[in-house]
Amino acid sequence: MSQTLPWKTAWVTGASTGIGREIVLQLASAGVKVAASARSPDKLAALGHGILAIPLDVTDAGACRVAADRVEAEIGPIDLVVLGAGTYAPVAIDHLDPQLFAHTMSTNYMGVVNCLAAVAPRMMARGQGQISWIASVAGFMGLPKAAAYGPTKAALINLAECLEPEMKLKGVRISVINPGFVATPLTAQNDFEMPFLMQPDEAARRSIAGLAAGRFEIAYPRRFVAILRALRALPYPIFFRLITRFVLKAR
């Protein structure tokens, strides 16, 4: 990256694939000391030398505290946290599996909360730092097949809104990243057209640029975000009619 970034150290979760992996590589290439976490030690090792690999299951709150302690012990006080660990599986309405919903919430939402609880107190004590997490434009509205995934992302957006005013008074910035469709192993499960599909390296570049600018929300691609926001503003009868016609391909 050509820009000078404002962080000396960063911790990224969900770092083995997709946007998280690319954020790790781009931060490291810009001279930031990076710690990378994910469940797969092999995939973390593949990130290369110079990156601190810390295997982690974010659903384990105690393990998140231990990981944060290790990051600060080995590379120094954390300036930036990017919480990107997540999971997704499409929901079939003829087989609503409570375990799928519970697993998705535990990983996507509580995984962020667990890491947040591990890093926020030390940042507030220092009076500085930036914490971000990857939500999704799927959190803007309810969409077919996203009944397990979408609510977790809506919760993450709401969480960021809840915390930003108070955390800012303590010197800690909160940012929420809302990508559209990005080509990752998770979205590869989709059997429908994904408009404005982006590659992970471009998504990471836009995420880092928005974080460096100190923006609260980083949402992309802009045209897709604008379409979704306009759709969300419609009255429900029109909204559901359009979703049925264009997403479900039914009348």
The span from the CA of 34 to the CA of 187, in Å, is 26
Q: Are the beta carbons of 150 and 139 closer than 8 angstroms?
A: yes
Catalytic annotation, pick one of 109, 149, 220, 236: 149
The span from the CA of 86 to the CA of 186, in Å, is 9
**Of all helices (H) and strands (E), which one includes residue 129?**
strand 129-134
Residue 34, strand partner residues: 10
| 243 burial via Cβ count (<10 Å: 0-12, 13-18, 19+) | middle
The span from the CA of 65 to the CA of 79, in Å, is 16
Among candidate residues 183, 191, 185, 198, the one with its CA nearest the CA of residue 145: 191
Residue 83, strand partner residues: 13, 133
Q: Is 88 in the active site? A: no
The span from the CA of 44 to the CA of 61, in Å, is 20
Active-site residue list: 149
